[in-house]
Structure 1
Amino acid sequence: MKRLYKLLPVPIQHLAITFVNNYKYYQKYGAIPFFKPLKSIIKNLKGESVNDDKTLERINGLIEYAVEHVPYYIENKEKYFKLNSIEDLKKIPVLHKETFRKNNTMFISKQVTKNNSYSYKTSGSTGTPLMGYTSIKDLRSRFESFLISLNKEQIDYSSRVGRFLGANVASSKLVYRKDLINNHYLFSIYDLSLENINAYYYALAHNKIEIIEGYPSTIYSLVKLLKTKGYVVTSVKHVLTTAEKLLDHQKEEIEAYFNVNVFDYYGSSEGSAYMYKCNLDYYLNANKVAYFETVDYNFKETENDKPGKMLVTSFTSHFTPLIRYDIGDSCSVISNENQIIKVREILGRQDDVYTTPKGYEFSRFSLLLKYLPENVLESQLVLKNYTDKAELVYVSDASIDLQEFKSFEDKMNTLLKSNFKFKYTKIEGFDKIKRGKLSAIKIIKNED
């Protein structure tokens, strides 16, 4: 199908994108072109909240469903009982990712059909990809919270959106394809380069794009490239980032260029938790979507403002239930009052922790990457655990003298209490064939 799509004339590609995008909007939002458009759905959600006081009721409902319809929970039903309080959740066993992986099909509800669900597969960044199903009802509940959170920040998702996809939908000649019904523009990130940045600028400015949505690394690269040419985009009122950790220096650069507050939101392929941050000093969890706990590596509850592993209980995953699921991400919670969770920082994957030769662990790389030279457009810092070797692979529009990296080196040596041997590798561009993600940090495990 992908090969056939590429052979189609561009106007037919627009029609194909329109059909696919509207089908997805029907699944996610229940939107039907002309009869129940996205704009009317958004309007009817004004005044709604992403939080309520029904967390305990939702947990018990999920457990009741799981032990009746899902093979894994049916076999282990004595461990999953009705809770009398949120505190009772701690008596339920932790669902480890390895358990989920080994028994993947046993976690799928017997009620799944082609018509009442859609399938997902995780990226497999931390092992073999996991697959599951989400009911259309749960999917719409989840995306309803997404639209409500946008409403809270006066962001109208039915306006002109430019979504930068990890899919090769366009070309360097015309860097977007258009949903002709919703006036939403789908940009391919694979042609985003200094050579083609004028085409991206023209597309954003000419089409008066109001909302940009994509990976933080993509939007950051877009901004850096636009600045190298002196281009100014004035139509953009909002920027939405997701799927990667938004680093401080990326946030500062994006907000300064577009003169906006970045709306950053967290989710996962499994449809677990949903939280967002824009004008707030914290991420607000939507308890209509999920409840989660933070624990240390001994699975003991962590104190407020202490980083911890996230154990997610998802209310939008009935067809593949996640109950106290160790999703592999970490965060620090400010407060949890009346089941409304406020998060200081999403720390990212638990695998994104580097250990120095002296055993010092570090994950706050946003504190040092902002010291890279201004002409670095994209980069990835590669570290191997328990060694003092560091390689920076980068893209730049100019020659950079090694002395220009001194501030970065000094900051890194100070923060990580080490004396690194640095290597710098300049490349033409990163290979982004895997959904376009570019992790700012790559930690290599030391098998010795």
Structure 2
Amino acid sequence: MDWFKLSLQLNKFPIKRAQKTLEIIQAIPEEEYAAYQRKRRNSIIDYHIQHNSFYREFFIWDGFDDWKNVPIMKKADLQHPLRERLSSTYNTKTAYIGKTSGSSGHPFIFAKNRFAHALSWAGFQDRYKWYDIDLNKSLQARFYGIPLDFYGNIQERLKDRISLRRRFNIFDLSEKKMEAFLKRFRSSNFDYLNGYTSAIVLFARFLKDKGIVLKELCPSLKICIVTSERLFEKDKELIENSLGVPVINEYGASEVGLIAFEDAHNHWIVNSEDLYIEILDENDNILPYGEEGRVVITSLFNKAHPMIRYDIGDTGCLSKESTLKKPILEKLIGRTNDIARLPDGKVVPGLTFYYVTKTVIEDSGNIKEFVIIQTEIDSFKIEYVSENELSEEQKNKILAAIGTYVGKNLNITFKRKNILKRSPSGKLKQFTSLLK
């Protein structure tokens, strides 16, 4: 039985229609692709102008005849209550609701209409087939975190079962835990690994130190897919040598879906079917292929919430070999996370703080930006920008989440600031360790 497809259908995501639509788009000839993209861009703008008061006010609509005049949406622009940003044709029950990780320091809640969400999944399924991975049949070793509250944990584990995913909890990557990981690989026929880059790199280092090649213990392994964090070339070599399978780069974001996926020729093929990707300079000018700038994304099918010329917070470059139908992401800068090391020897990937930020994200839009800095082996500082000072109740909620997801008996301090320090590229790094 196609369990993954069934799970989408049970949740009212029209995956069959999405797959058919994807096939139709992929069959469009290159010479007709510019017209397809122009039609979809104009259509999604017209829809939100008609049905979304937030976007109508944001755009200050008076008609336009040039795509370059469409305003850029920053993450900070979307830090308003979701009810103010939803299209009038959708509500929180008829749309898919999600939260960004806050890895850029700008957390917010978003919505996607069910067809747009299904189309994102159709894109993932299409790319995974490049490597003989079938989401309905292939068993995944999933190196992600998991909610630790009772209901969130049960819900996520149920989704894992239905989706043929077996969770490897990355909240603790001590040697003892990774020994337990090995036992699971010895006794299961995993087809692929999928997870946060930093967690898989740590596991690869553990394997190297033990002199183990994972595929020799688990011959069914085909590939390893890394996501959410930048993969350096040396780390890629380490993973491939330790796992014994190719490493594939996946670039995506929860609010827009799949952005780019690496093919067998080491080219990051950009998703041009349901997204429109641009590279802009600091003055919002569109850059030609080969020049580095800000990655700006338009979701061509999301009618529930406008994601139009959305600045995702990354810097990248499209290859000169790109075409409208087949853009190639030559370079991506951003999403590099440090690792937190704790007094008890526990090693925690920086993206563990994704689960801490869930407690910070409020639909009130109070928290505008935040970063977490490890200053000592047992000390962390949370710097934030907000309209109002965090209350003691809010601070206690964050402290409780850190105790649950990161570790106990840690010294946490809060500092409200007017502005947060950024990297030279303008990137705001959510987690930084100052330990040597």
SS at match of 1:110: coil
Aligned to 2:292: 307
Residue among 132, 135, 139 paired with 1:160:
139
Q: Secondary structure at the match of 1:124?
A: coil
Q: Give the CA deviation at 1:426.
A: 11
**Structure 1 unmatched ranges of 5 or more:** 1-18, 171-175, 353-378, 382-392, 396-424
Question: Structure 1 pair 94/168, CA: closer, same or farther in 2 (3 Å)?
Answer: closer
Match of 2:348 in 1: 430
Report the equivalent of 1:89: 67
The within-5 A match list for 1:71-82 is 71-75=53-57, 79=61, 81=63
Deviation at 1:23, TM superposition (A): 4.5
Query: 1:347 corresponds to which residue?
Result: 333
> Counterpart in 2 of 1:124?
102
Matching residue's letter, 1:341: P
- TM-score scaled by structure 2? 0.67
Q: Distance in 2 between matches of 1:214 and 1:107?
A: 31
- Alignment of 1:220 with 2:201, yes or no, is yes
- 8 Å CA contact retained: 1:135, 1:319: yes
Higher relative contact order by CA 8 Å / sep ≥ 6: 1 or 2? 2
1:272-307 residue CA offsets vs partner (Å, 9 max, x unmatched): 662111323321111112112111112223343222
Higher helix share: 2
Q: Measure, in 2, the Cα distance between the counterparts of 1:45 and 1:194.
A: 46
Residues 39-94 of structure 1 show CA distances to partners (whole Å, capped at 9, x for unaligned) of: xx99x9997876842211211111111011111223356547465xxxx3112122
Structure 1 counterpart SS, 2:266: coil
Q: Deviations over 1:292-333 (max 9, x none)?
A: 211111222334322200121112432111111122111011
Q: Which amino acid in structure 1 is aligned with residue 193 of structure 2?
A: I
1:254 Cα deviation after fit = 1.2
Aligned to 2:79: 101
Q: Is the Cα–Cα contact under 8 Å of residues 169 and 188 in structure 1 kept in the other structure?
A: no
In structure 1, what is the equivalent of residue 433 of structure 2?
none
Shift of 1:209: 0.9
**Contact in 1 for aligned 2:131/2:223 (Cα 8 Å):** no
2:38 to 56, 62, 69: 56
User: Which of 204, 229, 238 lines up with 2:185 in the alignment?
Assistant: 204
Q: Distance in 1 between matches of 2:42 and 2:183?
A: 52
Q: Is the 8 A contact 1:73 1:80 kept in 2?
A: no
1:328 to 307, 313, 324: 313
1:357-391 deviation per Cα after TM superposition (whole angstroms, max 9, x unaligned): xxxxxxxxxxxxxxxxxxxxxx938xxxxxxxxxx
Matching residue of 1:248:
233
**1:416 corresponds to:** none
1:150 equivalent in alignment to 2:128? yes
Seen in structure 2, the aligned counterparts of structure 1 residues 303 and 242 have a Cα distance that, compared at 3 Å, is same
Corresponding residue SS for 1:275: strand
RMSD of Structure 2 on Structure 1 (CA) = 3.9
Distance 1:431 1:253, change over 3 A: closer
CA distance in 2 between partners of 1:150 and 1:109 (Å):
32
Give the CA deviation at 1:28.
8.9
User: Taking every aligned residue pair, what percent have the same amino acid on both sides?
Assistant: 23
Runs of 5+ unmatched residues, structure 2: 150-155, 357-370, 376-419, 424-436
Tell me the SS of whatever aligns to 1:267.
strand
Q: Is the 8 A contact 1:163 1:214 kept in 2?
A: yes
Residues 435, 50 of structure 1: alpha-carbon distance in 2 compared, 3 angstrom cutoff = farther
Q: 1:25 to 1:167 in 2, by over 3 A?
A: farther
- Deviation track 1:368-417 (CA, whole Å, cap 9, x = no partner) reads xxxxxxxxxxx938xxxxxxxxxxx769xxxxxxxxxxxxxxxxxxxxxx
> Structure 1: how far apart are the matches of 2:12 and 2:175?
35
TM-score normalised by L of structure 1:
0.65
Residues 160 and 183 in structure 1, CA contact (< 8 A), matched pair in contact too: yes
Change (3 A) 1:209 1:80: farther
State the partner residue of 1:372: none
Amino acid at match of 1:204: F
Secondary structure (helix, strand or coil) at the match of 1:214 reads: strand
Deviates more, 1:50-59 or 1:248-257: 50-59
Match of 1:293 among 271, 278, 301: 278
Cα distance change on mapping 1:160 and 1:97 into 2, 3 Å: closer
CA distance in 2, matches of 1:228, 1:341: 39
1:144 CA displacement: 0.4
Aligned residue in 2 for 1:269: 254
Residue type matched to 2:50 in 1?
E
Aligned positions, number: 341
Once residues 135 and 239 of structure 1 are traced to their aligned partners in structure 2, the CA distance between those partners, rounded to angstroms, is: 30
Answer with 1 or 2: which has the greater Rg.
Answer: 1
The answer to whether the Cα contact below 8 Å between 1:49 and 1:148 also exists between their aligned partners in 2 is no
For residues 77 and 162 of structure 2, the distance between their equivalents in structure 1, rounded to whole angstroms, comes to: 44
